[in-house]
Amino acid sequence: MKRKWFILALGILLLLSLSCASGHKESLPETLPLVRDVSAVQSRLATAVSSCDSLSMKTIGQVSYGTYQAPVWVVSFSPAVIKRKALLSGGIHGNEPAGVEVMVQMVEMLAKNPHEYGSIAFDIIPIVNPWGWSHDVRFNQEGRDVNRDFATFKCQESAIIRDFASGKRYDLIIDDHEDPNAKGFYMYQYANPDTWLSRKLINTVRGLGYPIEQDVNMIILKTDDGLVNAPLWGLWYMKLTGQLSITNYFRLNNSSKVYTIETPTKLDWEDRLKVHMIALEILLDSLQTTTR
């Protein structure tokens, strides 16, 4: 009897998730006006990389929609001695620009101060969804939410990330997002029962006077004073529904420590960047202490 009710409940959840998912809409016009210029990001990254022997930059894929063409880059930082590896990413939703700017600033910081994080090697993907970022749209040109496509890989963008990450392992992965509906900062961690680091981060942000989100509700998860703690079964469930996110995928395949950082777009631009940087510093400092 219990098994029967479990299967029924799982089926209901499956139907709910498929009906409520934001994974796909109609294709967007190719003539949509450009809001941001990918070449400006490329110029900043190239300048930083050229100034530091420990940095390198390569194209891991090309996004193509009609006349729109843009590369997806990874910038890698390789210290003389590598004890830990971290993967950072931003811009999977094109209307969440703070994550992209923070990724670029991170590369610029490493170029200026290559000893800041000692023996941690980095792979940094500044813009996962360049078409969406260029047009200030959440989706890609096909109307797909790239961050719901890491089970089916119908998107060019998700396939590029999958191919890059295949077979790689990291000690820490951080994906930067923003939320136009949230009132405060919040974050996700995945299949990790130890919440002390997340709580430290949330309390640090609170102590600086920034609001903490209390009311994010999804199909099977909700915030607990700024933290969404996703269980492992939830990740497999999202894979079953075909709605796996980039961080869900990374947790299942590439790292046991994966975090999503969310800032509310209601905050001023500089405050959003500051909060993202604080989150990176706290998470990376924790990783750095284990390398000494």
Q: How far is CA 230 from CA 121, 195, 253, in A?
A: 27, 11, 16
Q: How many Å apart are CA 219 and CA 226, to the nearest integer?
A: 17
The CATH code of the domain that includes 275 is 3.40.630.10
In a domain, 4, yes or no: no
**Model pTM?**
0.92
SS3 82: coil
Closest listed residue to residue 102, CA positions, set 253, 284, 226: 284
Virtual CA dihedral for 77, 79, 82, 88, nearest 10 degrees?
Answer: -20
Higher pLDDT: 15 or 140? It is: 140
pLDDT tens per residue, range 133-173:
999 999 999 999 999 999 999 999 999 999 999 999 999 99
In a domain, 164, yes or no: yes
In a domain, 250, yes or no: yes
Please give the angle made by the CA atoms of 8, 14 and 19, to the nearest 5 degrees. 130
Question: Is residue 20's pLDDT more than 60?
Answer: no
In a domain, 165, yes or no: yes
pLDDT tens per residue, range 78-111:
999 999 999 999 999 999 999 999 999 999 999 9
Q: How far is CA 53 from CA 48, 103, 219, 284, in A?
A: 10, 19, 46, 22
In a domain, 8, yes or no: no
In a domain, 24, yes or no: no
In a domain, 218, yes or no: yes
Domain that holds residue 218: 52-289
* Six-digit token string for 96: 């969440």
| Count of domains for the chain | 1
